[in-house]
Amino acid sequence: MSGATQAHADTPHQPIFVGEVQARLEALYPHYPTRQACLLPALWMVQEARGWISEPAMAEVAEVLGLTPAYVKGVVTFYTMYHTHPVGRHFIQVCTTSPCNLCGAEDVLKSLLRESGCGELGATSPDGRFTIAEVECLGACGFPTPILIDDDFIEHVTPERVPGILQGYK
Amino acid sequence: MGYPHPSHPKETPVLSKHFGDAGARTYEGWVQRGGYAGLRKALGMAPDAIIEELKASGLRGRGGAGFPTGLKWSFMPKGDGKPHYLVCNADESEPGTFKDREIMRWTPHALIEGCAVAAYAIGAERCYIYIRGEFTEPLAVMHQAVAEAYAQGALGADALGSGMRIDFVIHRGAGAYICGEETAMMNSIEGKRGNPRIKPPFPAAAGLFGMPTTINNVETLAAVPHILNRGADWYKGLCLGNPKSTGTKLISVCGHVQRPGNYEITMGTPMRDLIFDMCGGMRPGRTLKAVIPGGSSVPIMNAEEAGDCVLDYEGVIAKGSMLGSGGMIVMDDSADVVYQVWRLARFYAHESCAQCTQCREGTAWTTKILERILAGKGKEADLALLLDLSDGMTGKTICVLSDSCAAPIVSGIQKFRPEFEAYLSGARQPALAMA
């Protein structure tokens, strides 16, 4: 996600499944007995290329895999990791489920919202750097609080560590 | 071993022996540590003989249900001419559980080996490893290891020179707890919303893409090569008294203990040994209050129940809860049980796929009622209402997500009722502001 060009909702859709991305998708076809099964991987490719999944992108995926745009949207909106609107250059997911909650995750979240400039969940910081989401259990409960910044999984985050961690993401 | 801590003398490291040892991650490193001998041995055996060995070992599913693994494999039809599939459930998302993550991060080839043995035993042409989307590091490690296993000839058209074809596909999830439910996972691999399916048909009859399918948890599959290498008798012998629960189990301990981490115990180990010896006990000046022993979906135990609980499938049931996935959430006297029950209900409300009314409405309403109680605006009848709703959420839906939401609510009210009443009477200050 980091460094991906953030397309705005009003810019015309540029096809994603051309050249190398198309080749990567087609290389998956032999691994599944149906084209439909390539939907989750295809959506990951869209998000990797564009940072989020717009409706025209869903329509393109639908056409490539022989599905309807409505079907694709139904799947996209089921899964929380697919973004249906633009997000900051770095997307932060903070675990606040019970095990982390017991160990101070809410203070980590508050610190992240403050230090990033995001202010509230789902909002992008004014400098466009960050968007923060609460996430349900990151599966690293013994190392509270884990956060995920783009693809970087960071354990043992405390409010004190937050400013230093954010400095690494421009 | 109690990764990230050194192994404790009361542990029995089998699956976790190489946690923290980066050298074990490569194909060559794994072979040097005795790896791929189990697969080699399996490929020289008849599939039925492998299944019998698994049955004799007593291995039961480590993902939560505890179903006998060999028996599950034996349900796969023989000579039906249809493609068979193996699905490895690496969607580890149960709050409190973080063991499969370490198996994949440190010993990816142990999992590959286990999957390959299973695929051969059930006649599967392909194994799909479904890894949750947030597990970026395990995904990278597993991709690397699978590519290496192909390059070394352990997978592919002629696995280890046996003439057998074994193919692997890693499928990345995209954020949905429910996809850890086996039929939801199959839908997710098929490119659908992760809604659980009505059973029957069971996966062995009509699973992934409508074909006979077996689905096993990461920890279950990782144990398989060890059983083939060292024999069913050795595995069966790893047991402190109850022959129905054999082998070792990774217990992920989190919450208020001094040394949270993954501990590998022999089935039958007392819970107090795990909490007070291996994990170093409570934080200074604190006492044990409650334990959720098997991931967030099982009933909460109080300190007394935890104190003389034996950690195996039947031992935890005897104390009114379940061993589940082995994700143990420990709370000391500083924990607010009402708040944590609310936080868990919120988790289930967020993760409900919304197919079944009892779950969609029940998880949302119980969360709202708990919120009201925590905000100091609860009504006297709220506890009865919560119990009534929980009853409507138990045993009445396609999958057990709503049962899982009800478990902490019912057990929380049963065992810590005065804490709920303190919010209702105003004796306790509100912990939440209501919107």
Chain B residue with minimum CA distance to A41 = B172
Residues of A within 8 A of B260 (CB-CB) are: 141-144
CATH number of B337-425: 1.20.1440.230
In this predicted structure, the answer to whether residue B71 has a pLDDT above a threshold of 60 is yes
CATH of A90-167, one of 3.40.605.10, 3.40.30.10, 3.40.50.300, 3.20.19.10: 3.40.30.10
In this predicted structure, the answer to whether residue A5 has a pLDDT above a threshold of 90 is no
- Pick among A78, A94, A109 to test the B interface (most B CBs inside 10 A): A78
B59 pLDDT tier (thresholds 50, 70, 90): very high
Chain A residue with minimum CA distance to B190 = A37
Q: List the structure tokens of A7.
A: 């397309």
With contact defined as beta carbons under 8 Å apart, do B399 and B195 qualify? Answer: no
- pLDDT for position A3: 40
Mean local confidence (pLDDT), B381-401: 97
**Where in chain A are the domains?**
1-85, 90-167
Burial per residue of A26-62, b for 16 or more beta-carbon CB atoms within 10 angstroms, e otherwise? eebeebbbebbbbbbbbbbbbbebbbbbbebbbbbbb
- pLDDT for position A10: 61
How far is residue B254's CA from residue A65's CA, in Å, rounded to a whole number?
43
B434 pLDDT tier (thresholds 50, 70, 90): confident
Residues of B within 8 A of A139 (CB-CB) are: 92-93, 97-98, 100-101, 132, 134-135
Peptide bond connecting A97 to the previous residue in cis, omega within 30 degrees of 0: no
Determine what percent of chain B is predicted with pLDDT higher than 70: 99
B254 → closest Cβ in A75, A80, A142: A142
- Pick among A98, A145, A147 to test the B interface (most B CBs inside 10 A): A98
pLDDT in tens, B283-294: 999 999 999 999
B22-236: CATH architecture: 3-Layer(aba) Sandwich (3.40)
Q: Calculate how close chain A gets to B254, using CA atoms only, in Å.
A: 5
In this predicted structure, the answer to whether residue B95 has a pLDDT above a threshold of 60 is yes
B93 → closest Cβ in A32, A139, A152: A139
Mean local confidence (pLDDT), A133-146: 96
Q: Calculate how close chain A gets to B317, using CA atoms only, in Å.
A: 22
B191 → closest Cβ in A37, A44, A93: A37
pLDDT in tens, B183-219: 999 999 999 999 999 999 999 999 999 999 999 999 9
What is the model's pTM? Answer: 0.96
Q: Calculate how close chain A gets to B240, using CA atoms only, in Å.
A: 26
Chain B residue with minimum CA distance to A99 = B255
How far is residue A138's CA from residue B57's CA, in Å, rounded to a whole number?
33
**B329–A74: do the CB atoms touch at under 8 Å?**
no
Tell which residue, B223, B208, B196, has the closest CA to residue B61.
B223
Chain B residue with minimum CA distance to A152 = B136
Q: Calculate how close chain B gets to A84, using CA atoms only, in Å.
A: 13
Burial zone of B381 (CB within 10 Å; 0-12 exposed, 13-18 middle, 19+ buried): exposed
- pLDDT for position A12: 86
B363 pLDDT tier (thresholds 50, 70, 90): very high
| Residue corresponding to tokens 């796929």 | B353
Residues of A within 8 A of B340 (CB-CB) are: 98, 101-102
Query: Three-class SS string for chain B?
Result: CCCCCCCCCCCCCCCCCCCCCHHHHCHHHHHHCCCCHHHHHHHCCCHHHHHHHHHHHCCECCCCCCCEHHHHHHCCCCCCCCCCEEEEEECCCCCCCCHHHHHHHHCHHHHHHHHHHHHHHHCCCEEEEEECCCCHHHHHHHHHHHHHHHHCCCCECCHHHCCCCEEEEEEECCCCHHHHCHHHHHHHHCCCCCCCCCCCCCCCCCCHHHCCEEEEEHHHHHHHHHHHHHCHHHHHHCECCCCCCCCEEEEEEEECECCCEEEEEEECEEHHHHHHHHCCCECCCCCEEEEEECECCCCCEEHHHHHCCEECHHHHHHCCCCCCCCEEEEEECCCCHHHHHHHHHHHHHHHCCCCCHHHHHHHHHHHHHHHHHHCCCCCCCHHHHHHHHHHHCCCCCCCCHHHHHHHHHHHHHHHHHHHHHHHHHCCCCCCCCCC
In this predicted structure, the answer to whether residue B83 has a pLDDT above a threshold of 50 is yes
Q: List the structure tokens of B352.
A: 């409900």
- Pick among B134, B262, B351 to test the A interface (most A CBs inside 10 A): B134
A39 touches chain B (CB under 8 A): yes
Phi and psi at residue B292, in whole multiples of 5°? -105, 105
pLDDT in tens, A12-50: 899 999 999 999 999 999 999 999 999 999 999 999 999
Q: Calculate how close chain B gets to A108, using CA atoms only, in Å.
A: 16
Q: Calculate how close chain A gets to B95, using CA atoms only, in Å.
A: 6
Residues of A within 8 A of B170 (CB-CB) are: none
Residues of B within 8 A of A142 (CB-CB) are: 98, 252-254, 260-262
ipTM of the complex: 0.95
- pLDDT for position B435: 62
Residues of A within 8 A of B96 (CB-CB) are: 98-99, 141
A68 touches chain B (CB under 8 A): no
Chain B residue with minimum CA distance to A139 = B98
Residues of A within 8 A of B188 (CB-CB) are: 40
Residues of B within 8 A of A135 (CB-CB) are: 134, 175
Chain B residue with minimum CA distance to A38 = B191
- pLDDT for position B2: 66
B249-332: CATH architecture: Roll (3.10)
Q: Calculate how close chain A gets to B370, using CA atoms only, in Å.
A: 15
Provide the number of CB pairs (under 8 Å) joining chain A to chain B: 146
SS3 A21: helix
B172 → closest Cβ in A40, A67, A75: A40
A1-85: what CATH class? Answer: mainly alpha
Peptide bond connecting B200 to the previous residue in cis, omega within 30 degrees of 0: yes
In this predicted structure, the answer to whether residue A2 has a pLDDT above a threshold of 60 is no
- pLDDT for position A11: 73
Residues in chain B: 435
Average per-residue pLDDT in chain A?
A: 94
Average per-residue pLDDT in chain B?
A: 96
Residues of A within 8 A of B253 (CB-CB) are: 142
Mean local confidence (pLDDT), A40-62: 97
